[in-house]
């Protein structure tokens, strides 16, 4: 246990940080999903092992049914995370340089992480027992990587013969009434063009119960060793958008909803306007970079609650868990809330962000009314290629940008804002922290209302100023 909440049932029973949970009501929980289910009971029989104790200890706990047990555990999965047995040419993990944090190299393909964090699974390691558990415990929504409905092409893309058949599990899940969202990573020259047409037709034909399908472009870093993997040209991106829009009309007519949504990146690449907020129908794939730009714009212009999710964005199951940590699976961002009582800050502002963020922010900053706000696009020299999202900027990239704009010399006279998407557990992807930067920066939650509040000069204080 990594924390025990004060006055909680666990604390009252004498459980302490460091205790190892062995069983709950006679069952050994496999993961936080089991843990949550078992710990919901009013009567708990808990077996723990305390460091240094010769024998496990049994504790009985009486609480209200559904009352939180009050402990945090170290990991969301207590047995082994299921790793993937695919070798996709477009896999971003293969495009990471050596020497980064170990957790970044984890190729998970575990339906539990799909349920808990929205990670996509190919189902190539899925089993009958998994299906039984999901259907019995109603574990949804789940997120499935489809890529193509052509069995041969799918096994070629995943470089795994099981890729040809593993979508049979998608059929099982949908027939069992589980909410599933799919994605297609589009690789130019591989599964775009006629292959994408066939895939969308295949989805209509075989998997019409899917709740949504995200169409996302592959990212290519300069560490890619795959000769066939290349970024979309503008014409190819336009073609994908035209295909998705045409199929949205088909899906709407056949199923009553648009089903397929193109990633924001396609609109940025082609300089086309983002779809309306309404057309995203609750932003089912917001975390997959679909509708983020529109949700951000809505929150920025409508002055929503700083730090709050834009209307309609689902926070995911994780938001409801009191025991599951996000570390190692999905970043918990460094949120720096409003500085209560902070005096309005009228210093001029520079916003640092990636190239895609800059494309979204440019019209918003231009229309904000302040004339002393500068938008600075930070190029991602670390990953290179077509990597333009703020979430993949490294500390080194940001430090270089701060030097280039003379921030160290101006420190104190200007505010430098950075989206929190750049940080995971207070660190950039290259391990640097805010303290390693050459000038103080203020970390702003990556939602439009928080940026708006930061520009209004009242809300955010610098983080770890060097
Ligand atoms: S399934 Fe995902 S993690 Fe596994 S190789 Fe393919 S892209 Fe990488």
pLDDT tens, position by position, 314-360? 444 443 344 444 443 333 334 343 344 456 678 899 999 999 999 99
Q: Using a 6 Å cutoff on CB, does residue 314 contact ligand 1?
A: no
Q: Is 88 in the pocket of ligand 1 (CB under 6 A)?
A: yes
Q: How confident is the model at residue 101 (pLDDT cuts 50, 70, 90)?
A: confident
For residue 441, the model assigns a pLDDT of 94
Amino acid 245: pLDDT: 98
Residue identifier of the C-alpha nearest atom 1 of ligand 1: 86
Q: What is the tens place of the pLDDT at every residue in 350-371?
A: 999 999 999 999 999 888 888 8
Q: What is the dihedral of CA 351, 354, 360, 362, to 10 degrees?
A: 40
- Out of 96-100, 194-198, 384-388, the most confident range is 194-198
Q: What is the pLDDT of residue 80?
A: 87
Please indicate whether residue 183, judged by its CB atom, sits closer than 6 Å to ligand 1: no
pLDDT of residue 343: 61
Residue 317 to residue 323: CA distance in whole angstroms: 12
pLDDT grade, residue 103 (50/70/90)?
Answer: confident
Predicted pLDDT at 17 = 93
pLDDT exceeding 70 applies to what percent of the chain?
89
Secondary structure tally for the chain: helices H, strands E:
14, 13
The CA 110 to ligand 1 mean position distance, Å, reads 11
Question: Measuring from atom 6 of ligand 1, which residue has the nearest CA?
Answer: 88
Average the pLDDT over 365-390 and give the result.
Answer: 90
Residue 87 near ligand 1, beta carbon < 6 Å: yes
Model confidence over 164-185: pLDDT tens digits?
999 999 999 999 999 999 999 9
Closest C-alpha residue for ligand 1 atom 8: 91
For residues 358 and 267, give the distance between their C-alpha atoms in angstroms, rounded to a whole number. 13
How far apart (Å, rounded) are the C-alpha atoms in residues 408 and 225? 37
Tell me the best of 106, 107, 119 to mutate to test the pocket of ligand 1, counting ligand atoms within 8 Å of each CB and taking the most.
107
Percentage of residues in the chain having pLDDT higher than 90: 68
Look at ligand 1, atom 3, and give the residue with the nearest C-alpha: 107
- For residue 308, pLDDT beyond 60: no
Expressed in angstroms and rounded, the spacing between residue 202 Cα and the centre of ligand 1 is: 22
> Nearest Cα to 356, choosing from 391, 332, 402?
391
pLDDT (mean) for 46-71:
90
Least confident of 54-63, 108-117, 154-163, 453-462: 453-462
- Given a cut of 60, is residue 49 above it in pLDDT? yes
Which of 200-209, 365-374, 447-456 has the highest mean predicted lDDT (pLDDT)? Answer: 200-209
CA angle 270, 275, 276 (to 5 degrees): 155
pLDDT at 330: 39
Ligand 1 closest atom vs CA 90 = 7
Mean pLDDT of all residues belonging to the chain:
88
Q: Is the pLDDT of residue 404 over 90?
A: yes
Residue among 54, 65, 58, 51 at smallest CA distance from 1: 51
Which residue owns the Cα nearest ligand 1 atom 7? 91
Q: Distance between CA atoms of 438 and 448, rounded to whole angstroms?
A: 26
124 CA closest ligand 1 atom index: 1
Out of 109, 114, 148, 186, give the residue to mutate to test ligand 1, the one with the largest number of ligand atoms within 8 Å of its CB. Answer: 109
Distances (CA, A) of 388 to 66, 289, 355: 44, 12, 5
Q: Is 91 in the pocket of ligand 1 (CB under 6 A)?
A: yes
Residue 66 tokens read as: 């559904």
Q: What is the mean pLDDT of residues 452-463?
A: 65
- CB–CB of 314/297 below 8 Å? no
Output the pLDDT for position 304. 52
Over 70: is that where the pLDDT of 44 sits? yes
- Do 415 and 345 form a contact (C-beta atoms < 8 A)? yes
CA torsion 430→432→438→441, rounded to 10°?
A: 100
Any ligand 1 atom below 6 A from CB of 93: yes
Q: How far is C-alpha 44 from the chain's CA centre?
A: 34
Which residues make Cβ contacts (< 8 Å) with residue 115, sequence separation at least 6?
Answer: 33, 134, 139, 140, 141, 142, 317
Q: Which atom of ligand 1 is nearest to the CA of 145?
A: 1
pLDDT, position 466:
29
Distance (angstroms) between ligand 1 centre and the Cα of 339 equals 41
Confidence at residue 458, expressed as pLDDT on a 0 to 100 scale: 58
- Closest to 259 (Cα-Cα) out of 294, 286, 284, 293: 284
CB neighbour list of residue 426: distance below 8 Å, 6 or more residues apart: 334, 433, 434, 464
Question: For residue 298, what is the enclosing H or E element?
Answer: helix 292-302
Taking alpha carbons only, the member of 438, 419, 430 closest to residue 394 is 430
d(CA 218, ligand 1 centre) in Å: 12
pLDDT at 333 (0 to 100): 38
Q: Residue 416: which of 405, 428, 427, 424 has the closest Cα?
A: 405
- Ligand 1 atom closest to 107 (CA): 3
Q: What is the pLDDT of residues 208-263, one digit of tens each?
A: 999 999 999 999 999 999 999 999 999 999 999 999 999 999 999 999 999 999 99
pLDDT of 310 reads: 52
The structure tokens 């939602």 sit at 447
pLDDT of 290 higher than 50: yes
């Amino acid at each position: 246990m990594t924390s025990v909440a004060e006055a909680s049932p666990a604390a009252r029973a004498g459980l302490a940080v460091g205790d190892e949970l062995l069983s709950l009501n006679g069952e050994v929980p496999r993961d936080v999903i089991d843990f949550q289910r078992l710990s919901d009971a009013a009567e708990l029989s808990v077996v723990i092992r305390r460091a240094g104790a010769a024998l496990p200890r049994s504790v009985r706990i009486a609480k209200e049914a559904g009352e939180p047990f009050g402990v945090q555990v170290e990991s969301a999965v207590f047995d082994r995370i299921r790793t993937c047995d695919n070798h996709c040419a477009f896999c971003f993990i293969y495009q990471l340089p050596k020497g980064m944090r170990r957790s970044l190299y984890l190729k998970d393909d575990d339906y539990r992480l799909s349920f808990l964090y929205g990670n996509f699974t190919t189902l190539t390691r899925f089993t009958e027992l998994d299906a039984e558990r999901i259907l019995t415990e109603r574990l949804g929504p789940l997120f499935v990587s489809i890529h193509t409905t052509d069995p041969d092409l799918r096994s070629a893309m995943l470089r795994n013969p099981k890729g040809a058949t593993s979508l049979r599990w998608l059929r099982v899940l949908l027939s069992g009434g589980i909410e599933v969202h799919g994605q297609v990573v589009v690789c130019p020259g591989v599964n775009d063009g006629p292959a994408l047409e066939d895939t969308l037709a295949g989805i209509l034909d075989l998997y019409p119960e899917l709740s949504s399908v995200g169409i996302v472009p592959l990212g290519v870093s300069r560490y890619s060793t795959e000769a066939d993997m290349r970024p979309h040209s503008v014409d190819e991106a336009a073609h994908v958008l035209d295909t998705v829009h045409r199929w949205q009309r088909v899906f709407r007519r056949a199923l009553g909803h648009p089903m397929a949504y193109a990633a924001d990146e396609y609109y940025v690449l082609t300089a086309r306007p983002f779809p309306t907020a309404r057309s995203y129908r609750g932003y089912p794939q917001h975390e997959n970079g679909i509708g983020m730009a529109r949700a951000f714009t809505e929150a920025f212009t409508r002055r929503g609650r700083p730090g709050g999710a834009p209307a309609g964005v689902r926070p995911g199951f994780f938001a409801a868990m009191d025991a599951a940590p996000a570390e190692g699976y999905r970043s918990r961002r460094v949120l720096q809330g409003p500085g209560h009582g902070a005096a309005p800050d009228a210093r001029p502002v520079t916003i640092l962000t990636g190239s895609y963020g800059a494309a979204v922010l440019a019209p918003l900053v231009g229309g904000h009314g302040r004339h002393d706000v500068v938008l600075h696009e930070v190029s991602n020299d670390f990953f290179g290629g077509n990597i333009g999202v703020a979430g993949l900027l490294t500390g080194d990239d940001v430090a270089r940008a701060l030097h280039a704009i003379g921030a160290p010399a101006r420190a104190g006279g200007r505010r430098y804002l950075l989206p929190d998407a750049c940080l995971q557990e207070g660190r950039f992807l290259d391990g640097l922290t805010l303290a390693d930067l050459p000038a103080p920066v203020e970390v702003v939650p990556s939602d439009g209302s928080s940026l708006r509040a930061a520009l209004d000069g009242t809300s955010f204080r610098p983080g770890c100023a060097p």
